[in-house]
Chain A
Amino acid sequence: MIDSFRINLKGAYTIWYRDVLRFVRNRARIVASFGQPLLFLFVFGVGMAPAMSGLGQGSLDFTQFLFPGILGMAVLFTAVFSAVSIVWDREFGFLKEVMVAPVSRTAVALGKVAGGSTVAMFQGALILLLAPFVGVRLTLAQVVVILGLMLLLAAVMSSFGILVASRQRTMEGFQFIMQFLLLPMFFLSGAFFPIRDVPLWMEWLARIDPVSYGVDPLRQVVLRETIPAAALEAISLHPIATDVALMALFGVAFLLPAVWLFGRQD
């Protein structure tokens, strides 16, 4: 009993360690991963800034508004892609070898969630290095909280990715997931525009979008030292504690069925 627990823990650790090792080793990917955020911040953001000048009672530059959204975007996509990669990896990759090892499927799924979350958090942390370039001031305490929030969002979205991928056997359904789930989740998260004064249907869709509960607290913490509290209040949705609690709920709601479905034998 104890021994099988130890073996499963070691198995989950192995899968986590492999994801982290691959991330750290792939320098080219790390450099390339800056491309999209840079484009969003300094082309899209700068270009949109004049049109969005009323944000936060006029005290907030649009690129600053965008910055936490871009953090959320990096975390969201890295986490989901890393989790969905198990479809390929299970049929033709390293994960197939894991599936016949004496390690339980639950340990494999949890190891994969942990790996995807860690890598996505690292990715977000790299984007965080751009903060000075958009005039966002950060203290060490803020950075610690931001890393925690990114890890939580990453865990939620990795679990979501595993859930979506758990019964899939080919990559063909992946485009569908991208178009009908991931992009709407991203657009409705409040990363690009504030989910305030929007039509009621959009407000409600945003409320069931787990990503919105990740972007909202990130924005509140990231911009805390940069803009006045009243201005921040005007672009925030919920208290941070509510955001965190709801993210945790979404996480559990994704993770449990994901582990169950992933563990079912063919």
Chain B
Amino acid sequence: MRAIEVEALTRNFGDFTAVDAVSFNVEEGEIFGFLGPNGAGKTTTINMLCTLMRPTSGRASVNGHDVAREQSAVRRAIGLIFQDTTLDEQLTGMENLRFHAMLYDVPRQDFERRSAALLEMVDLTEKARDQVQQYSGGMKRRLEIARGLLHHPRVLFLDEPTIGLDPQTRRLIWDYLRALRDREEITMFMTTHYMEEAENCDRIAIIDHGEVIALDTPEGLKSLVGGDIVTVRTADNDQASLKLQRAFQVEPRMGPDGQLIIETGGGEQFIPQMMTTLSNGEAPIDVQSVNLRRPTLEDVFIKLTGHAIREEEADSKERMRQRGRMFGRR
């Protein structure tokens, strides 16, 4: 049995197709990432998998239970860490855990043992009796991870687990998650629009406009981009592009910030040749900057979709969320 099986899963909102016939499987014990820009359909997919939303068509099962027909069984088998904190900030960390245990009917003795161990794991034992409103963003996230695991879920869903956290805290959260996977034999399904974060996954599905456009290991995805990435900024990108195509049989792409992106093997040798080509001939082209690097998932994304992952415009829900952040949410 696979941890998650998804077949032609679709969700429409009126005329808009948020998730379009998506299919994939997640093996047990895997860390599976859903990478894509805001509005690509990541959260809608997660909402369908965790029974918060009904699929328009297609089917999905989690831990062997159909998400449309066996909701209770699915809910018992999963833990969730949402994009926005769902802790009650007026309660203490321990009370938040206890309420969770009540909702999931975790026996008292099991709760005592389990909560102590989990608080230890996320380094919050000392803070368990404090009100959550006194916690930092990272501490809240850690408490939510502990809470999501309290009822021994088989599959843990994480929707943008490190959004809004600083890089150091983000690394720390990942240390916890990796330790967790080793210890609990748990499957993790996460969404993210951070490229660096996706690198931590065993496999990644790239999603854009509601469709899965690639699915592989991070290394496999990067190998879709041939060799090195050279980016160059010139006075006349169109002319430069033509010149380079003729001289090297490469196909430069326009980058998101007005630079040319060239995939090539042996970038170190390519750059001096490129410089010579551009500055020679009848119409020399001014080169403003040059950069060489190994391909990242961002490059894969740009290659596959033709655009960079960027923040979308705020919809009404996003405005509500921002207002919540501004007022520190009750």
Chain A residues near B (Cβ < 8 Å): 4, 7, 10-11, 13-14, 17-18, 21-22, 25-26, 88, 91-103, 169-172, 265-266
| Chain B 18-33 interface mask (CB, 8 Å, partner A; 1/0) | 0000000000000000
B contact residues around A4 at 8 Å (CB): 72
B contact residues around A91 at 8 Å (CB): 84, 317, 320
CB distance from B317 to the nearest CB of A (A): 7
B contact residues around A25 at 8 Å (CB): 90-91
Can you list 27 residue pairs at the A/B interface with Cβ under 8 Å? A4-B72, A14-B99, A14-B102, A17-B99, A18-B88, A18-B99, A22-B91, A91-B317, A91-B320, A92-B86, A93-B329, A94-B86, A94-B99, A97-B100, A97-B103, A99-B52, A100-B50, A101-B100, A101-B103, A101-B104, A102-B72, A103-B103, A171-B320, A265-B52, A265-B53, A266-B47, A266-B52
Query: Which 6 residue pairs of A and B lie closest in terms of their CB atoms, listed nearest first?
Result: A101-B103, A97-B86, A102-B75, A14-B102, A94-B88, A92-B84
B78 within 8 Å of A (CB atoms): yes
Chain B residues near A (Cβ < 8 Å): 47, 50-54, 72, 75-76, 78, 80, 82, 84, 86-88, 90-91, 95, 99-100, 102-105, 147, 316-317, 320-321, 324, 329-330
A contact residues around B52 at 8 Å (CB): 99-100, 265-266
Once the chains bind, are B320 and A14 in contact (CB under 8 Å)?
Answer: no
Once the chains bind, are B320 and A97 in contact (CB under 8 Å)?
Answer: no
Partner of B82, one of A10, A96, A101, A169: A96
**Chain A interface, DSSP helix/strand/loop, else mixed:** helix
CB distance from B227 to the nearest CB of A (A): 45
| Given the contacts A92-B86, A96-B82, A100-B75, A170 and B105 also touching, CB distance less than 8 Å | no
B contact residues around A92 at 8 Å (CB): 84, 86, 320-321, 324, 329
A14 to B76, CA, bound (A): 17
A18 to B95, CA, bound (A): 9
CB distance from B110 to the nearest CB of A (A): 15
A93 to B329, CA, bound (A): 9
Once the chains bind, are B75 and A101 in contact (CB under 8 Å)?
Answer: yes
Once the chains bind, are B88 and A98 in contact (CB under 8 Å)?
Answer: no
A103 to B316, CA, bound (A): 29
A contact residues around B47 at 8 Å (CB): 266
